[in-house]
Amino acid sequence: MITIKTDAEIACMRESGRLTKNVLDLIGREIRIGMTTKDLDRLACEYIRSCGAEPSFLGYSGYPASICASIDSMVVHGIPSDNEVIKDGQIVSVDVGVVYNGWQGDAARTFMVGNVSEEKRKLVKVTEECFFKAIENLRDGTPLGDIGYHVQSHAESNGFSVVRALVGHGIGREMHEDPSVPNYGRKGTGIRLKKGMAIAIEPMINAGVYQVDFLSDGWGVVTRDRKPSAHYENTVVITDSGVEILTL
Ligand code: MF3
Ligand code: CO
């Protein structure tokens, strides 16, 4: 079921969105070579709780941490670990969800650590651009398929590929609500977005093939060719004239 948010509810989502963004800003300031992904997780969890909020990922379908930290060929859902040390030249996708006063925020960034290769730099840049291309003409009445169309066109015209096995989603009181928001698709297709719908748009873009493998830990998703992948996500709400980004 797709829920339409009232102005008062959007005001609540603005608060959880702001906290979500703050977590990613904090991680962006603190991330460095030699830290472990578990260090990042602790940082996020402590910050979220200090704000009177809860990390929404923790315990979600049994997920054991507050963030996902996905390095290089890991697309998403990397479980933070004390044994995973961040190294020079890696790209680290950090995904975080916050619930505050009953409302969810969900966002991700891909951080470049140290001396990052030209290919990875371009991948990170294009993945961010994919999100902004997707929202460029988004407003009340836009067909959902336009989002995927714009993400896919931008990724593929830069020689990259779009992950199909995972998609964005509606968001509100629940982290995952309808509709599904694929990062591929045809212009003019699908339901029409309406004012008051909130969605998480999250391009996952691979340097090589689009296919992914699921790890035996039940969570991790890696590129089949083990080439790098980047992730960028914001929670947005549809307005009359465009979108409001709640996590930026
Ligand atoms: N942001 C992700 C999503 O949109 C993360 C959910 S993973 C879990 O689906 F850790 F919460 F399970
Ligand atoms: Co999401």
3-state secondary structure of 244: strand
CA of residue 30 to ligand 2 center, whole Å: 23
CA–centroid distance, 97 to ligand 1, in Å, is 7
Residue 68: per-residue pLDDT: 99
Q: Which of 21, 13, 12 is nearest to 247 (CA)?
A: 21
- The atom of ligand 1 lying closest to the CA of 200 is 4
For residue 143, CA distances in Å to 41, 46, 154, 220, 244 come to 36, 39, 18, 31, 17
CA of residue 168 to ligand 2 center, whole Å: 6
Write down the pLDDT at residue 82.
98
Count of positions (residues) in the chain: 248
What is the model's pLDDT at position 153?
98
Rounded distance from Cα 36 to ligand 2 centre (Å): 23
Query: How many other CB atoms sit within 10 Å of the CB of residue 5?
Result: 20
Question: CA 231, CA 110: separation in Å to the nearest integer?
Answer: 6
Res 130: pLDDT: 99
Q: State residue 104's pLDDT score.
A: 98
- Of the listed ligands, the closest to the CA of 236 is 2
pLDDT at 148: 98
The pLDDT, as a whole number, for residue 220 is 98
Q: Which of 157, 208, 201 is nearest to 183 (CA)?
A: 201
Q: Which of 16, 24, 48, 57 most suits a substitution to test ligand 1, by most atoms within 8 Å of the C-beta?
A: 57
DSSP-based three-state secondary structure for 162: strand
Mutate to test the pocket of ligand 1, among 175, 201, 231 (most ligand atoms within 8 A of CB): 175
In angstroms, the CA 169 to CA 181 distance is 5
CB 45 within 8 A of CB 69: no
pLDDT of residue 247: 98
Tell me what pLDDT residue 27 has. Answer: 98
Pocket of ligand 1 (CB under 6 A): 57, 60-61, 63, 68, 77, 95, 97, 106, 169, 200, 202
24, 77, 199: residue to mutate for ligand 1 pocket, most atoms within 8 A of CB: 77
pLDDT at 26: 98
Give the ranges where the chain is alpha helix by DSSP (H).
Answer: 7-30, 37-50, 118-135, 145-157
Which atom of ligand 1 is nearest to 61's Cα?
12
Give me ligand 1 centre to Cα 115, in Å.
Answer: 28
How much is the pLDDT for 204?
A: 99
Tell me how far the alpha carbon of residue 247 lies from the centroid of ligand 1, in angstroms: 15
Beta bridge partners of 55: 98
User: String of b and e for 62-85 (b: at least 16 CB within 10 Å)?
Assistant: ebebbbbbbbbbbbbbbbbeeebe
How much is the pLDDT for 101? 98
pLDDT (tens digit, 0 to 9) for every residue of the chain, 248 residues total? 999 999 999 999 999 999 999 999 999 999 999 999 999 999 999 999 999 999 999 999 999 999 999 999 999 999 999 999 999 999 999 999 999 999 999 999 999 999 999 999 999 999 999 999 999 999 999 999 999 999 999 999 999 999 999 999 999 999 999 999 999 999 999 999 999 999 999 999 999 999 999 999 999 999 999 999 999 999 999 999 999 999 99
